[in-house]
Amino acid sequence: MSPLGGIRVLDLTNVLAGPYCSYQLMLLGADVVKVEVPGQGDLARQLGPDPELNRSRLGASFLAQNAGKKSVELDLKSDAGRRSFEEMVGQADVLLENFRAGVLARLGYGWERLRELNPRLVYCAISGFGQTGPMSQAPAYDQVVQGLSGMMSVTGTPETAPLRVGFPVCDTIGGLTAALHICAALAGRDTTGEGVFLDVSMLESAISAMGWTVSNYLVSGVEPEPMGDQNATAAPSGTFRAADGPLNIAANRQEQFERLCALVGRPDLLEDPRFAEREARKEHREELNDLLNAALAERTALAWEETLVAAGIPAARIVTVPQALRLEQLEHRGFITELPFPDGSARVLRVSGGGVLHDGRPLRPSQSPPLLGQHTGEPIWKEAS
């Protein structure tokens, strides 16, 4: 049985943070039903690089995060829609939404009302800043949260920062945080028999995920600065230049540095007081990087990757997204799943997995993303096994 087999998730979310959360729950076996506004649906249905797909409410942004789910159209402002919604809440294990704080409560479905309808319900609300506090009503998108978290201030070089991270990282982190706490709440419910209200803040989730960047300031008072492609904790550790392109090397430990110097033909660097030990190397990072780049220019990035990895030194080429998706490692682990295209065309839809093997097997969606309202009027929940 799948880890969340039999768990019913009522998903009112849009775009990314919420749908990414419920996609992870679906991969774990939960039965996920999207509740969508009639005629409009999830805004992500209209987002993506293909205008034709956007017009047909099958935008790439939607297809990426909604395989394996069902879709019902429901107007929560109508009497019939509210009756249907309340019936579904009574049968659900999880209610997930990412409206602005307080929107669902203003529709008459705050936590107290939801708990009356289903005392065992796990209600998870994802928002930019949380349901309480002076910023709770402020609108939030990923880039806004990136800026307010401090993330952009440490991304890029001193000359180019602040920079946005190249994908919606705060939405993704918010979704993962929500999925983690939903699973914990479901486990806790087995003991208490009671549901819980989870108030997920994307801002707090993002700052938490920044780890050492934050703790260096909280613990040691050291204000983080942008360092581009270099690692503040060690040297040589960052991006270097091989003959045909960039290469990441992380020789963070003394023995790794010693092996690196031997392999690039510069054992003399070990005798240089500027590079003899960790703190000195960090202080003289630029001089060390220049010397290593000159040596690395003799071979291709792939050749260096193979040589360094064989010697136990973390190293790899820097590739594009298409190149990453073609890595044999992903194919070996079954990370990509192929599904029929939802509109019945001959196209093949490829979607990503969750990054974890369960007893040696990847968790995959078994169904294509739903058309808008595809399951309206049908029995929405799987029969209990």
User: To which residue do tokens 């069902």 refer?
Assistant: 70
Point out the catalytic residue in the list 31, 75, 171, 244: 171
The amino acid occupying position 51 is P
Residue 198 sits at φ, ψ, to 5 deg, of: -105, 120
Alpha-carbon distance values, 220 to 83, 154, 213, 224, 350 (Å): 55, 17, 11, 11, 46
Side-chain half-sphere of 301: how many Cα atoms within 13 Å? 15
User: To which residue do tokens 């990453």 refer?
Assistant: 324
171 catalytically annotated: yes
Cβ-based neighbour number of residue 301 at 10 Å:
22
Nearest Cα neighbor of 27 from 68, 56, 64 is 68
> Across the strands, what pairs with 122?
94, 196
| Residue 42 · residue 14 · CB < 8 Å | yes
- Rounded to 5°, the CA angle 88-63-337 comes to 105
Say how far apart CA 36 and CA 56 lie, in whole Å: 15
| Residue 276 · residue 262 · CB < 8 Å | no
Catalytic amino acids?
171
